[in-house]
Amino acid sequence: MQMVSLEALRTSRMARRNLFYGVLFASPWLLGIILFTAYPVVASFYYSFTEYTVVNPVKQFVGLSNYTNLIFKDDVFRRSLYNSVYYAVFSIPLGVIVGVGIALMLNMKIKGQAVYRTIYFLPVLIPDVAMAILWIWVFNAQFGIVNTLLWQLFRINGPGWLASPMWSKPTVVLMSLWTVGQGVVIYLAGLQDVPQSLYDAAEVDGANALQKTWHVTIPMITPVIFFNLIMGMIGSLQYFTIAYVITGGDGRPGQSLFFYAMYLYRNAFAFFKMGTASAQAWILFIMVLIGTLLVFRTSARWVYYGGEEAR
- Count of structural domains within the chain: 2
Residues 164, 245 within the same domain: yes
Question: For residues 163 and 277, is the Cβ–Cβ distance under 8 A?
Answer: no
- Containing structural domain, residue 156: 66-302
pLDDT tens digits for range 188-203: 989 988 888 888 888 8
pLDDT tens digits for range 212-236: 889 899 999 999 999 999 999 999 9
Question: For residues 95 and 182, is the Cβ–Cβ distance under 8 A?
Answer: no
In the predicted model, what is the mean pLDDT of residues 121-136? 90
- Whether 57 has a pLDDT exceeding 50, the answer reads yes
Return the pLDDT at 8. 66
CA distances from 117 to 91, 95, 101, 113, 121 (A): 22, 17, 13, 6, 6
Asked if residue 56 is part of any domain, the answer here is: no
Beta bridge partners of 60: 51
**pLDDT bracket for residue 42 (50, 70, 90):** very high
Residues 87, 218 within the same domain: yes
Q: Which distant-in-sequence residues (6+ apart) come within 8 Å of 86 by Cβ?
A: 169
Question: What are the phi and psi torsion angles at 51 (to 5°)?
Answer: -100, 95
Return the pLDDT at 112. 82
Residues 40, 92 within the same domain: no
Buried b (16+ CB within 10 A) or exposed e, 227-261: ebbbebbebbbbbbebbbbbbeeebbbebbbbbbb
Query: CB count, 10 Å around CB of 287?
Result: 17
Asked if residue 231 is part of any domain, the answer here is: yes
Asked if residue 310 is part of any domain, the answer here is: no
Return the pLDDT at 193. 86
- Whether 109 has a pLDDT exceeding 90, the answer reads no
Return the pLDDT at 1. 45
Residues 42, 146 within the same domain: no
The C-alpha atoms of residue 199 and residue 208 are separated, in whole angstroms, by 10
Residues 107, 238 within the same domain: yes
Return the pLDDT at 5. 66
Return the pLDDT at 6. 62
Return the pLDDT at 309. 47
Asked if residue 285 is part of any domain, the answer here is: yes
In the predicted model, what is the mean pLDDT of residues 11-22? 81
Residues 163, 280 within the same domain: yes
pLDDT tens digits for range 64-108: 999 999 999 999 999 999 999 999 999 999 999 999 999 999 988
In the predicted model, what is the mean pLDDT of residues 1-19? 68
Residues 10, 145 within the same domain: no
Asked if residue 60 is part of any domain, the answer here is: no
Return the pLDDT at 85. 95
Asked if residue 57 is part of any domain, the answer here is: no
Residues 8, 117 within the same domain: no
Residues 17, 75 within the same domain: no
The C-alpha atoms of residue 227 and residue 221 are separated, in whole angstroms, by 10
In the predicted model, what is the mean pLDDT of residues 109-133? 88
Residues 219, 172 within the same domain: yes
Residues 231, 129 within the same domain: yes
> Which amino acid, one-letter code, is at 197?
S
Report CA dihedral (37, 38, 40, 44) to the nearest 10 degrees: 130
- Whether 306 has a pLDDT exceeding 80, the answer reads no
Beta bridge partners of 51: 60
Give first-to-last CA distance, the chain, whole Å. 58
The C-alpha atoms of residue 67 and residue 34 are separated, in whole angstroms, by 27
- Whether 310 has a pLDDT exceeding 60, the answer reads no
Return the pLDDT at 9. 64
Asked if residue 199 is part of any domain, the answer here is: yes
**pLDDT bracket for residue 187 (50, 70, 90):** very high
Residues 124, 234 within the same domain: yes
Asked if residue 61 is part of any domain, the answer here is: no
- Whether 22 has a pLDDT exceeding 70, the answer reads yes
CATH number of the domain bearing residue 284: 1.10.3720.10
Question: What are the phi and psi torsion angles at 36 (to 5°)?
Answer: -105, -5
Return the pLDDT at 295. 92
CA distances from 158 to 94, 139, 152, 154 (A): 22, 9, 11, 10
